[in-house]
Amino acid sequence: KQEVTQIPAALSVPEGENLVLNCSFTDSAIYNLQWFRQDPGKGLTSLLLIQSSQREQTSGRLNASLDKSSGRSTLYIAASQPGDSATYLCAARNSGYALNFGKGTSLLVTP
């Protein structure tokens, strides 16, 4: 069974800092890995999807990388802003139908 772990569980940084969120997974036979953002009391918003054949994806200040062989993905956020404060979830897709989610990293960006 795929196990997805996210470290750290919580992170607080001052505005303007670049930061990296980590995601690891135990079964490297993934089809894709997706990063989501969850705001309090809200659903999930998809940020980036990396297919197994890709190494990275970029959207604005976000860059996600994927290393299947080591079972790792990182989400890089450049020039963080208070509006980036949220919980960030990664999810791995294997051969089944379900996405396997980590428990998330709770990010606080302070002004």
Partner 1 sequence: GAGVSQSPSNKVTEKGKDVELRCDPISGHTALYWYRQRLGQGLEFLIYFQGNSAPDKSGLPSDRFSAERTGESVSTLTIQRTQQEDSAVYLCASSLDRGHGNTIYFGEGSWLTVV
Residues that bind partner 1 (CB under 8 A): 31-32, 34, 36, 42-46, 49, 51-52, 89, 91, 93, 96-104
Cβ nearer to partner 1, comparing 52 with 63: 52
Cβ nearer to partner 1, comparing 49 with 62: 49
How far apart CA 27 and CA 48 sit, in angstroms, is 20
Cβ nearer to partner 1, comparing 36 with 80: 36
Minimum CB distance to partner 1, residue 32 (Å): 5
How far apart CA 71 and CA 28 sit, in angstroms, is 6
Other beta carbons within 10 Å of 110: 11
How far apart CA 4 and CA 24 sit, in angstroms, is 6
How far apart CA 111 and CA 41 sit, in angstroms, is 22
Minimum CB distance to partner 1, residue 98 (Å): 4
